[in-house]
Amino acid sequence: MEQKTLFEETEKKLLTIKEASIWASNYLNSKITVSNISYLIQYGKIKKYGNGREVLVDIDELKHYYDSFSIEKKWQSKLGKDINWHLSFSEYKEAERTKHVHRLHPYKGKFIPQLVEYFLDSHTDEFKKEVYFRKGDIILDPFCGSGTTLVQANELGIHAIGIDVSFFNTLISNVKVEKHNITLIEDTIRKLNLKLKEFQNNKNNIPFEEHLLIELTKFNNRYFPTPEYKKKVSDGLINENVYAKEKEKEFLTIYNELIQKYQIKITQDKNKTFLDKWFLDPVRKEIDFLTEEINKIDNIDAKNVLTLILSRTARSCRATTHADLATLKEPVSTTYYCKKHRKICKPIFSITKWWEYYSIDTINRLKEFDQLRTDTIQLCLTGDSRTMNIYKEVKKKNPIFAEMLLTQKIQGIFSSPPYIGLIDYHEQHAYAYDIFGFERKDELEIGPQFKKQSKEQKEAYIKDIAQVLINCKKYLNDNYDVFLVANDKFNLYPKIAELAGMKIIKEYKRPVLCRVEKDREKPYSESIFHLKAR
């Protein structure tokens, strides 16, 4: 362990505190004292290095801190001084925000695990003096989504119950928190891979795609060389739209010749379902084959894990452009000029690459979480949080947990209700519902995008969220704490709290830095409302 630390330190640009104060003063064009640097170390803003005789700091970490502080001031000027920058968790890299099982399957609208951990963790720091939950408590997430609250509760030694109206969301959540027989799952994957290869033996889509990739590489190297092409576009030497359209048309001739050579059927005969529309024919055949094989698996746990892997694979193999993967526009059945990569790209003709990649990735993430999990119970239920008898449904799944719930009760809620008019929660996984034939309950969604943001829908939203809280209160301890994450631009939550017989005792406003939308640089915040009994 000591050797690793010494090696890591040699890889870093380390300075003494005195040297760091001089560097920071020059970098910021402002006087930064030794005491200022010592303060940053003392309060964990930057790490302390050294062998004990002399304290050293990493110049890159120091630079990151000061750069973040500059961004903080900029965002505060746009969003207000009451923004809690600490809750931005800007110090965490993308890999830490999507650690282990949190990235087991894509999901729109989930919060980062560090936000959940901040309010659930019983350890205090300089920013959070209060302790709301302790090890052994039970918490509830009535809008469970992809299970972030359940996973973090497990890490922290807290029992948790989740509820979601979407069967597929429930599946994602339970696969994340359940204890798996990894050896059995790995063996099942190996057998499926052999069967898939055998199925593909008499098909031409794989050699076709390999040949297509060779031709694409030659064409792109010639007409879209990196970085020369991008520089010419930025310098105005090439009209990107005109040039791209011309080269796109030119490569289509090569593409069509290869289709004829390998006798590839591109589109499906039907265009009724999501699967019909958004998958090329060779991909659809492979998906159907694996679906049939997965349905034959007797072990329910292995079957559920493989279901998620295939769903994740299918999502990445939809017939769309790279730029439109998050929000589908029109199906793509030919090669095309890709605005994202600035070259000619292609749709996907075989699931093999993604299936193999996600199989390995899933196993690795499950193993990683196994090293962190605690001996606690987490369970996600499918149903309507407005009306569900939580005790009765828990008892069906886990009688021991039901008795604990009856005697101990739930200490509180940490959840993110739907943001009104933003997401259709069933539709975002339409491919999974089509592939596996899961039952959809779109009509039970609260505040879905398809119902928009009219006055009537806002009033319905207030009543629905309040009804969820009223129903869940029956299972809470008297001195409960409820935390709801929301972007309340319509100021609906004070009324929701009133209708639910609760009061908002504090509102934390946090900047949201990591967004997938195209306006990700636009300052944006959300609130964490802390509610208690009125």
Question: How confident is the model over 283-299, as pLDDT tens digits?
Answer: 999 999 999 999 999 99
Give the pLDDT of residue 127: 58
| Domains contained in the chain, number | 3
Pair (57, 90) in one structural domain? no
**pLDDT (average), residues 249-258:** 97
Supply the pLDDT for residue 255: 97
Q: Is 481 helix (H, G, I), strand (E, B) or coil?
A: strand
Helices (H) and strands (E) in the chain, counts: 21, 11
Q: Which residue has the tokens 């407005």?
A: 386
d(CA 483, CA 243): 53
* pLDDT of the residue at 70: 63
Domain that holds residue 37: 2-80
Residue 9 clears pLDDT 50, i.e. is over it:
no
For residues 229 and 127, membership in a common domain is answered with no
Same domain, 72 and 161: no
For the stretch 368-419, pLDDT in tens is 999 999 999 999 999 999 999 999 999 999 999 999 999 999 999 999 999 9
- pLDDT for 125: 57
- As a whole number, the mean pLDDT across the chain is 90
Q: How confident is the model at residue 482 (pLDDT cuts 50, 70, 90)?
A: very high
Q: What is the mean pLDDT of residues 139-160?
A: 97
- Please give the average per-residue pLDDT across 221-246, as a whole number: 93
Same domain flag for 17 and 157: no
- Both 478 and 398 in a single domain? yes
Mark 24-62 as b/e (b = at least 16 C-beta within 10 Å). beeeeeeebeeeebbebbeeebbeebeeeeebbbbbebb
Kindly give the interhelix angle for 182-200 and 281-295, rounded to the nearest 10 degrees.
140
Same domain, 151 and 188: no
- The CA–CA distances, whole Å, from 433 to 166, 305, 429 equal 10, 16, 7
Same domain, 132 and 201: no
Q: Name the domain boundary from 22, 55, 80.
A: 80
Residue 476 has φ and ψ, to the nearest 5°, of -95, 150
**Residue finishing a domain among 312, 342, 364:** 364
Residues 134 and 48 in one domain: no
pLDDT in the model for residue 518: 45
Is 434 strand, coil or helix? helix
Q: What are phi and psi of 265, to 5 degrees?
A: -90, 125
pTM for the structure as a whole = 0.84
Cα gap 475→64, rounded to integer Å:
45
H or E, element range at 77: helix 59-79
Clarify whether residues 75 and 99 are in a common domain.
no
CB 372 within 8 A of CB 155: yes
93 and 235 fall within a common domain? no
Tokens of 355: 């299936």
Q: Which residue, 318, 341, 364, sits at the end of a domain?
A: 364
pLDDT per residue as tens digits for the range 499-520: 999 999 999 998 887 655 444 5
Q: Is the pLDDT of residue 235 over 70?
A: yes
Report the CATH number at residue 136.
3.40.50.150
Residue 290 sits in the same domain as residue 381: no
CA distances from 89 to 116, 461, 511, 527 (A): 11, 30, 9, 15
Same domain? For 234 and 318 the reply is yes
Give the pLDDT of residue 4.
36
The reported pLDDT for the residue numbered 1 is 36
| pLDDT the model gives residue 41 | 84
402-406: long-range pairs with CB below 8 Å, 24+: 404/138, 404/159, 404/377, 405/138, 405/161, 405/475
**pLDDT digit string, tens, across residues 102-111:** 999 999 888 8
Distance CA 263, CA 259 (A): 6
